[in-house]
Amino acid sequence: MEIENIPEKKKRKSSFRKTADWASLLRNFATIVASFISAITLFILLRQNERTYQPDLVMSPAPKVFHVAYRDTISGCEDLRIIVGQDSSGENLNLRAINLGLGAAKNLDILWHYDPSRLDDTVSIGTFRIPTFVTYNEEVNALMFRSCFMKESMGGQLEYCLPFNSEKEATAVSLPLNYVRMWSNLAIRIGLNHKIPRPERIKLLEQLAASFQDLTCSIRYFDINGREYRKSYKVRILPHFIDLRSRTLALGVGLAEQTNGSGARHSHRFTVYEPDASFSESEIEW
């Protein structure tokens, strides 16, 4: 039996085909790896782009101080006036929403959370019961004074809020004025109630400032890609001074963001001026 010898030329061709097949496999593998890396890189860039251009709404008081003027007997809407700035005729009391992000916020939904029915008739502070002479009507959602009523919504909507470097003016968010009126009404009735000894009146004003019914502002908004964001703020009415001589309150608004579950305490000082020109200074925590 004869053994057939494979020519050397055929051996070289077979070896070349095997090498070419391995080279092709390596090229295909490298192409797949490069495509995978490109896809990951594109995904990372898209996520970075979304984070870079996401909105970030921050609330602040506007203005920082406002005034409330009152008459000795509060029986009607005109007996208690909120004065903002130099305008004694308007009651535009707002918070200011600033978008610190690089992307626009759209479809803003703003809700105020407090219980108006708890602002009714008489409010208990410590062992004292303070008559408010105001009732809350749930059917019309309004505070009813003796000669008038005041109605307002518990929220609102805004179409958009541009980034701060594109917006000429900050976006205004209206405070619930009935809450401010009831706080002021109670402060005035406590301050003018001389049946209560002065030290007790000061303590009652401190309790009112530190622990009056909680007011919370919750905000929901979206970025241009439809991603949802939420923030919540605790709001506190803070007196700067209560002047029983000129029948004027100077008040401010304290804000504390609650989105991240922060429960930090804040301190605040205020002064009460008595009709006899004496005064008392107090400090509260909220």
In a domain, residue 38? The reply is no
Q: So what's the pLDDT on residue 139?
A: 78
Lowest model confidence (mean pLDDT) among 89-93, 127-131, 150-154: 89-93
Locate 261 and state its tokens.
């579950």
Mean pLDDT calculated for residue range 193-200: 84
Task: Note the pTM of the prediction, 2 decimals.
Answer: 0.76
pLDDT at 105 over 80: yes
Provide the residue type at 39 as one letter: A
Lowest model confidence (mean pLDDT) among 17-26, 48-57, 63-72, 264-273: 17-26
pLDDT at 23 over 90: no
Mean pLDDT calculated for residue range 168-176: 87
Mean pLDDT calculated for residue range 109-136: 79
Mean pLDDT calculated for residue range 190-213: 86
pLDDT tens digit sequence for 110-120: 999 998 877 66
What is the four-CA torsion angle of 125, 144, 175, 284, rounded to 10 degrees?
Answer: -10
Residues 6 or more apart whose Cβ sits within 8 Å of residue 277: 245
In a domain, residue 221? The reply is yes
In a domain, residue 9? The reply is no
In a domain, residue 119? The reply is yes
- Number of domains present in the structure of the chain: 1
Q: So what's the pLDDT on residue 93?
A: 87
In a domain, residue 44? The reply is no
Mean pLDDT calculated for residue range 49-63: 80
In a domain, residue 265? The reply is yes
Range of the structural domain that residue 211 is part of: 53-285
Tell the residue number behind the tokens 């200074």, with chain if given. Answer: 281
Residues 6 or more apart whose Cβ sits within 8 Å of residue 255: 59, 60, 61, 95, 233, 234, 235, 236
Q: So what's the pLDDT on residue 1?
A: 47
In a domain, residue 12? The reply is no
Q: So what's the pLDDT on residue 141?
A: 77
- Angstrom distances, CA of residue 202 to CA of 188, 190, 237, 249, 284: 12, 9, 17, 15, 11
In a domain, residue 2? The reply is no
* Between 204 and 34, residue with greater pLDDT: 204
pLDDT at 272 over 90: yes
